[in-house]
Amino acid sequence: MDNVINFGGMTALITGASSGIGAASATAFGTRGARVLIHYNRQESEAQRILERVRGAGGQGELLRADLTTMDGVRSLVRALAGRRIDILVNNAGSLIQRTPVLNFTEELWEQVLTLNLTSAFFLAKAVLAGMVERKSGFVVNVSSVAARNGGGLGALAYASAKGALSTMTMGLAKEFAPFGIRVNAVSPGTIDTKYHRNFSNDQILNAVKAATPMARLGTAEEVADVILFLCSHEARFIQGQVIEVNGGFS
């Protein structure tokens, strides 16, 4: 995506922005004029590098830390947003945390996965939507997953369930807030060549995905970020409540 799309004067909050799709999105918004709020949890040095990259390209931004696997962490980030104008929210933070067979799941792990991948997205959207309603404008993009369509791999049931609910939530929010000039959509990445997939997969799994993908490769974080930017642009002005698959034809 070229630099014709400009987000000057807008503030974008990107959760999980220290690496992968979040980092690529934060960089892309920042280099196109937005002030970027870069959320992270543990990877402070990586988040700082993204902030420096944004500033190096002439953009502005700041870091916000919160652990979105807990409601205390969600509430702390919501409090940090009080009084701020948020024009764009990208709910990207997510992880299966650890591959776990169903019979080994604990209540604690289930709650962590759902809080991170679903509940945090709802309450962050709720926190910024009030201001968007007042201004009659705003964008929310949720980052779902191909796992929402196929149930995910072994040990990823909670993650897949949360992402399925996130896709459904996207459609519900879109219906409710469309009359206020707010557009809510989602992207659904397939297997993207990021540290996330290298942590939770192995070469055998990734090679099998490549073989099952018509484009015969994994996606890149930048390719997903391009779709997120498009959904927040004037060019996507009649796209509402959609879950855009970005998977090279895998599904």
**Mind telling me the catalytic residues?**
159
Query: What's the token pair of residue 133?
Result: 């309603």
Unique residue bearing structure tokens 């931004």: 61
Instruction: Give residue 85's identity as a one-letter amino acid code.
Output: R
CB-count exposure of residue 137 (10 Å: 0-12, 13-18, 19+): middle
Cβ 182 vs Cβ 137: under 8 Å: yes
Cβ 138 vs Cβ 129: under 8 Å: yes
CB-side neighbour CA atoms (13 Å) of 101? 2
Rounded to the nearest angstrom, the gap between the alpha carbon of residue 94 and the centroid of all alpha carbons in its chain is 7
Q: Which residues pair with 192 in a beta bridge?
A: 219
Q: 13, 20, 66: which is closest to 46 by C-alpha?
A: 20
**What DSSP designation does 115 have?**
I
Farthest-apart Cα atoms in the chain, separation: 51
